[in-house]
Amino acid sequence: MQINGLIHLFSKRFEEQSYLSPFFRLNDYFVSLSNEEECVSIHLRKRSCKVIIREEIDQEVIQINGGLNALKALVEGDMKLTDLISQGKIETDATYRTVLKLESIFYLMRKQSRDAG
């Protein structure tokens, strides 16, 4: 499965969850996930996750770059973002605080889907 497919599944799960709202009290996030072949951007906010295709983004975009397997492990919540960064499998321009927030969001989304399934 490519990044685009992974992100669409993540987006669908995200919109079904309301317990993530506290992460978005002050900010929503624009995140761009890319590997050598593909780049997909998402807009994460309180109750929605919108996949952005060919739209101008006038806010800061957090870049997350890595191989497909590393991005898949992140989006599916199988590995923590900080671990992937420390292993050199992913690079990002996000602040450490934002990295921790995104890591929590990806992890909680995966944890919830395991409990439900």
Report the pLDDT value the prediction gives residue 114, as an integer from 0 to 100: 47
Q: What's the full length of the chain, in residues?
A: 117
Query: What's the CATH architecture for 3-116?
Result: 2-Layer Sandwich (3.30)
The domain spans of the chain are: 3-116
| 117 pLDDT higher than 50 | no
Going by pLDDT thresholds of 50, 70 and 90, the confidence category of residue 111 is low
CA dihedral 26, 4, 9, 102 (to 10 degrees): -30
Query: Would the pTM of this model clear 0.85, i.e. be above it?
Result: no
| 73 pLDDT higher than 90 | yes
Supply 112's token pair: 């919830």
